[in-house]
């Protein structure tokens, strides 16, 4: 007997995670702008209002600070809010309440704020400078926050379920370019968690370690396939999945094996997360390196609207291949 498994997109995996957690736990609820009758800007919350009602699917005013502030209060009363930012760029008005209260409340009072703030990040969809940012580095310097950036359909579901159950604030960065482009076998109701703080070896290799996360995992994969075919090089790709807490052991283990490290992220180069990973390896595995550490990242500019300019701004497969070849030439 052949069992046919359902195929879900990255977007549908996120919806599954939310729906399943709401079904399993009456304390879980969602809130955000236009998430009820409209189903959210990208339709992630479509159908939730009909199933769970207005008490658990709350359309809010256009006030990100108000959304997160109310969620923190609800979390401290034992509820489990999942807040949607229509675009992750709009998290900026809530920056103060996130970093100066949500992140510090457990340290200050002993009572944490178990909430999830999720939303679409990233470029590549011609959305321009106000709807295309990657904001992870803004928050990586704040103790008390967990930062998650799934790259696959299964991780989008498993990591979000783990985030909703976590007792402290989690920022969940969904790359909008992946929403309807990625598909995988995934049954609704299939119960699994992807633990926070554990990286994943996306591709094994022995010649070079490439550390990345989010949509850039797929750019790295395409580059690795090209290098294998044209150069005979085997690139190991480490998908961080969680930026905080960071799986330092996975990074160091891979670097000790390959002796080379290339870092890739979509955010601008200066002050980007790659700098922290480079510092980690320099401090704890410098003697294992055979070459200098290299980075591939976006240009230090806002994300352009024009397609040609956006492509020039973002890391491309050719950029990764070129930098990897420089590493491998040593």
Please give the positions annotated as active site.
Answer: 131
Pick from 75, 82, 30: which is nearest to 51 by CA? 30
Q: Name every residue whose Cβ is closer than 8 Å to that of residue 303 and which is 6 or more positions away in sequence.
A: 123, 127, 128, 129, 132, 133, 310, 313, 314
Whole-number Å distance between alpha carbons of 254 and 308: 35
Q: Is residue 325 packed enough to be buried (19+ CB in 10 Å), middle (13-18) or exposed (0-12)?
A: middle
Residue 10 near residue 1, CB atoms below 8 Å: no
Q: How many helices (H) and strands (E) does the chain have?
A: 12, 14
Whole-number Å distance between alpha carbons of 275 and 282: 10
Q: DSSP string spanning 167-179?
A: SS-EEEEEEGGGT
In sign, the C-alpha dihedral spanning 8, 9, 10, 13 is: negative
């Amino acid at each position: 007997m052949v069992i046919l498994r359902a195929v879900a997109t990255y977007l549908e995996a996120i919806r599954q995670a939310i729906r399943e957690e709401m079904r399993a736990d009456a304390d879980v609820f969602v809130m955000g702008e236009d998430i009820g009758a409209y189903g959210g800007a990208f339709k992630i919350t479509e159908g939730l209002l009909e199933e769970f009602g207005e008490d658990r699917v709350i359309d809010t005013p256009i006030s990100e600070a108000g959304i997160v502030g109310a969620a923190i209060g609800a979390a401290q009363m034992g509820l489990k809010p999942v807040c949607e930012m229509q675009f992750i760029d709009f998290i900026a008005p809530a920056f103060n309440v996130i970093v100066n209260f949500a992140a510090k409340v457990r340290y200050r009072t002993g009572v944490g704020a178990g909430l999830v703030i999720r939303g679409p990040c990233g470029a590549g969809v011609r959305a321009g400078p106000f709807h295309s940012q990657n904001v992870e580095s803004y928050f990586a310097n704040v103790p008390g926050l967990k930062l998650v950036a799934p790259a696959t359909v299964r991780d989008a579901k498993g990591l979000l379920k783990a985030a909703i159950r976590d007792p402290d604030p989690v920022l969940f960065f969904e790359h909008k370019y992946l929403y309807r482009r990625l598909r995988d076998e995934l049954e609704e109701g299939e119960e699994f968690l992807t633990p926070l703080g554990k990286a994943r070896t996306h591709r094994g290799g022995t010649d070079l370690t490439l550390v990345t996360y989010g949509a850039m995992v797929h750019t790295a994969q395409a580059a690795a396939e090209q290098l294998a075919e044209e150069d005979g090089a085997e690139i190991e790709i480490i998908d961080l999945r969680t930026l905080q807490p960071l799986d330092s052991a996975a990074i160091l283990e891979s670097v000790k094996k390959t002796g080379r490290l290339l870092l890739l992220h979509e955010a601008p180069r200066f002050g980007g997360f790659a700098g922290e990973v480079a510092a980690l390896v320099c401090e704890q595995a410098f003697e294992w390196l055979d070459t200098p550490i290299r980075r591939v990242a976006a240009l230090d500019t806002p994300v352009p609207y024009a397609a040609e300019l956006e492509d020039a701004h973002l890391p491309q497969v050719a950029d990764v291949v070129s930098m990897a070849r420089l590493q491998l030439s040593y």
